[in-house]
Each structure stands twice: as C-alpha cells, then as structure tokens.
Structure 1
Amino acid sequence: MASNALNLVGAGHVGRVLGRLFAASGSFVVQDVLTRSAASAQEAVGFIEAGRACEDMAHMRPAQAWVLAVGDDQIAPRCAALAQSHCLAGAVVFHCSGAKASSELQAAREAGALVASVHPVRSFADPASVAAGFAGTYCGIEGDEGALALLEPAFSRIGARLVRIDPAAKTVYHAAAVFASNYLVTIVDAALRAYQAAGVPEAVARELARPLATEALANVFRMGPEAALSGPLARGDVATVARQQEAVTRWDAPTGRLYEALVAPTADLARRKRSKA
C-alpha cells in the first residue's frame, strides 16, 4: 500500500472525476475501485487512468483514505460494511453528499477512522468536461479535524475552493442549492406560463422573461438582494400585489398559492431594502 493510497467505493460521475483529478495531481495514489459491477469498475479505472477494479469490498486493500461516492441512502450501510470488513484505525473515510453530514460515517469513526464530507458544488453530468474544468469549484467541507488536515490540501491541489460548513446545518446548506437552482427554474416556469395565459406565444414569453430574469440575477450577485429587489412590493404597492394574487389564483390555483407563498418573504426583503436606504 502506498502511503497516500486512496480507495473508491462507488465510482459514478463524482467518484471517477475525483479519482482522475487526485491521480493526475499526485494528491493520492488511486488504488482500488469498487462499483456495482466488475464491468463498471473497469470502466471507471479506464476513465481515472489509475487503480485496480475490484469485484467486492473484501478484495480491496488497506488505504490511507476511502471515499464513499455512493447515493445518499447508501452512505451509512456501505460505511457499516466497510467498517466490518477492514481495519480502519487511523484511516480517513469521507463521502461527497451535499445533503448528508459526516455523522453518516459513524460506523467508520467507531472503528477508529477519521471522517469527513466534501461536497463539490456543481453538476457532474459530463464527467470529462468537469474533470477538465474543475479548478475553481467550491466544495463544502466538514468533519474531524484530522480528516480535514489530510483532505483540504488534497482538494486544494486539484483546484477546489474550500468552504467549511456547520454539519448541524448540512440539510439547510443543501436546501440553499435547491433554492438557487431548482426552485428558481420553477418560478421562471410560472412566469412563462403566466405570459402564455395572457396570449403570448411560448417562444416570445421566453424572450420577455429573459432580460428580467438575467438582469435580476446579475443585480443580486453584483449589489446584493436588497438593492436588486424591484417591483410592487419594493415600492410598497400592496394593492397591486393583492390584485395580482387574486388574478393568478383565478387563472391557476396552484400557481396562485406559489405567488402567495412568495409575498411574505419578499415583503420582508423590501423592509430590509428600505432600512438600508
């Protein structure tokens, strides 16, 4: 075993990207790779250009670091299996989930390992593209100090920008990404459907919404949300808001409820805007 050997349990998009980057940078020597099948493990080894494909956990050799790049619901059971099959005393075990904290690795901690979680904040839909352009990627990191002492330099060498987070708030941290991405799409979809309800063709609706959405986002990141807020609530025009809510609810009740749910937090943001004026 190399002194900086790394084993991968799970080598989907995230696991194989990290494996390739670690191997290329010399942060770790990628040693053994285990996935759901021997064929996919061999494919992952080919992508990483390092390591040995394994058919089961029992055949994996001891390592300084273990990454569990598996689905969220598999972290705890795979960790428990690892703790039963290997001596982990002094090793570092980490996962890459944005939703689960390092406490999911309690079985490894009880077996003498140091544990952590490192969550790269980006999409891994195209692994080759991500591997080529990973530098500058933010990663939320938390866990045992001894584990972080090993992982922070390793991730820094592959270009990661590390942000320490509170493990007790890991679920809220992950929800932030949902707000910033998924729910943003839902709100723009509501805008497009509302335009179409007013007789605007879909293609034209997108062009009407495009400058509003892109300029609003640009202003948020340039000036902050308070300064970026505009519209009736920012002006204190609650009568217009009430008329809009009623009209949207008559048109489509679920979208009306979405509009209503956004009124109170937007009014609070407007109050913060006025307090800074």
Structure 2
Amino acid sequence: MAEAKPGRLGIGVVGAGKVGAVLGAALRAAGHAVVGVSAVSAASRERAENLLPGVPVLAIPEVIERAELVLLAVPDDALPELVAGLAGTGAWQPGQLVVHTSGRHGTGVLAPARAMGAIPLAIHPAMTFTGLSLDLTRLTDCAFGVTADRPVLPIAQALVVEMGAEPVVIQERDRPLYHAALAHASNHLVTIAAQSAQLLAAAGAEQPDRLLGPLMRASLENALASGEAALTGPVARGDTGTVRVHREALMHYEVETGATDIRQAYEELARATAKRALARGLLKDGQATDILDILSPRTTPLNDQEDPQ
C-alpha cells in the first residue's frame, strides 16, 4: 500500500461495488488514505476486504463524517435519494469534496450537498468493471467523463489523472447524451454478441466464440481506427439478395423458437446501417431503397402468416 503523502485526502467510499472498490483502491495507490468504506452485501464486503484491506467497514454516516472526499459509487437511480437523505440528516460538511461515479448525472444531483457547503464533482469511468484487481491496470487505458464547476474542475481532472486515466470534460447538460452513447456502444455490443452466438449454436457451431471473437475484435478495431469507412457486409455492398435471405432465415428461426428479438434487432440495425451508408455515399439511392424495402416492417413475418411454409 502506498504511504499517505502530505496534502493527500482522507477518502470515504460509499458503495463497495465493482466500481467503488476499484476506484478506492486506485486512489489509495496514488497516496490518498481511504478512511472508511460502506459495504452491505456479502459480495461487497469481500470486495472491500480484497481491494481495500485494512480499511474499516462502516455505516454510511460514519464514512462521511471521517472523509475529506466522499466517493459515491451507487446506482444512478439510487443517487438522488441518497444525497438528499444524507442532507436531511445534516451529514454533509462545508468544504468536503463529494464525488459521484454516475454516468447519467452531472453535479446537479449533488445540489443538497452543495447547499450545505460541500463541493460537488462528477467523474465517470468509461469502462466496464469486474470488481477485481485486474481493473486497476485497465484504468491506464481508460477515460473518465468529468463534470464540475470551472473553479474546481482541475480537482476532478487531477483525481482522474492520479488513477492513471484520462479526464474528458463533459458539460452538465450533455451527461445524458454522453451516457447514452456509452451504453449503446457497450451494452448493445453484448446483446449483439449473445444473439449472434445463439444463432451460431442453432446452426451447429459448438464454440460460437471461436467464430465471433476474431471477427468482432477486428471489426471494433477497424471501426475505431477508420470510422464508417471500415463498414463491410451485404448492406454496405447493396447486396439485396443476401439481405433478403438473412431476413427469411431469421423469420424461420423465429417461428421455430419463438425468439423475436434477434430478427427485430437485425432489421433495425440493418435499416440504420443502410441509411448511414446512403448518407455517406457508400450506397446509391436505388440500392438503399431496395434494402429498406426488404427490411420494411410492413413485410409480414412468417409467424404472422397463416402458412409459414
């Protein structure tokens, strides 16, 4: 454990979930002293023990009372009630730094703490967490969405830099859009991978991940490096016959299994891809029209027809 240095902060961690425990450990490694952590479930207590050994597990009011900086790592929906409830008990202290890790919220959610003299900061890691020590090394390749009042913005940025990550300033009004972008990229990627693996298993592949892994990794790397110039596949080529065959196969699968989400997701994403490819000149008007017609929701799926054969 790094020794506490002069000028360093006493940090209290509220919520020893996957994010809170890891960020607490990262700040501790930077020389700050973690003076207390709240952990309710058995999993969070074990996480606190592994990542923050020797740090006392305390009730939330005790954590706040001891801390110069309070790190609130709780679910987005729970944050407003928690902040307001603690304000109602007079827990927040003048000059205390109150930092939350929510992607959706900026500093406005911390208004009850601000009203009592606390200094609100929002830092959100654009990364998925396992809650294990390996997350600490991943922070060095991570960016944080940072929101704070201009006079204290350097404090929020410095905290992120101390954890080895990169601060990216997000305006208060833009936090929901920022978070939607990250959720769309991360969460829906998982859904697409799961849906594709399900189809491959149905097609007889015993290890779908062996087929998907190299393809998805290369596609992601190419997309990040080249943007939509990296787009390939039947939609980008205007290959209407292949798109039609795909849709028919997915309709048959839907009839056989009752799983409607895969066809619907394929159609919606293929329509979005066709529109974006048209806007960027990758498709001609006629090609895009043909593909969008094939994918039209007006076309009745097989399971809505009287005779799917």
> Aligned to 2:99, what secondary structure does the other structure show?
strand
For 1:227, give the aligned amino acid: A
1:157 corresponds to which of 150, 158, 162: 162
Q: Does 1:262 align with 2:269?
A: yes
Matches within 5 A, 1:72-87: 72-83=76-87, 84-87=89-92
1:139 corresponds to which of 144, 147, 156: 144
For 2:230, give the aligned amino acid: A
C-alpha spacing 1:32/1:38, structure 2 compared with 1 (3 Å): farther
Q: Does 1:98 align with 2:103?
A: yes
> Which residue of structure 1 aligns with residue 281 of structure 2?
274
Once the two structures are superposed, residues 159-216 of structure 1 have per-residue CA deviations (whole angstroms, 9 ceiling, x without a partner) of 011111233232332232332222223223333444455xx32226544444433332
Matches within 5 A, 1:1-277: 4-26=9-31, 28-36=32-40, 44=48, 47-49=51-53, 51-57=55-61, 60-61=64-65, 63-83=67-87, 84-197=89-202, 200-203=203-206, 205-224=208-227, 226-252=228-254, 253-274=260-281
Give the whole-Å Cα distance in 1 for the aligned partners of 2:41 and 2:245.
58
> Aligned to 1:135, what secondary structure does the other structure show?
helix
What is the TM-score when the length of structure 1 is the normalising length? 0.81
Once the two structures are superposed, residues 217-251 of structure 1 have per-residue CA deviations (whole angstroms, 9 ceiling, x without a partner) of 22212221x21111222122345424432442243
Once the two structures are superposed, residues 47-76 of structure 1 have per-residue CA deviations (whole angstroms, 9 ceiling, x without a partner) of 424654433515743543211122223212
> Aligned to 1:127, what secondary structure does the other structure show?
coil
Quick check: 123-132 or 135-144, which moved more? 123-132
Number of aligned positions between the proteins: 271
Q: Which runs of 5+ in 1 are unaligned?
A: none
Q: CA deviation at 1:42?
A: 9.6
C-alpha spacing 1:213/1:20, structure 2 compared with 1 (3 Å): closer
Q: CA deviation at 1:7?
A: 2.2
Contact 1:69 1:95 in 2 (8 A): yes
For 1:235, give the aligned amino acid: R
> Aligned to 2:246, what secondary structure does the other structure show?
helix
RMSD: 3.2
Q: Which runs of 5+ in 2 are unaligned?
A: 1-6, 255-259, 284-309
Identical-pair percentage: 31
Contact 2:106 2:175 in 1 (8 A): yes
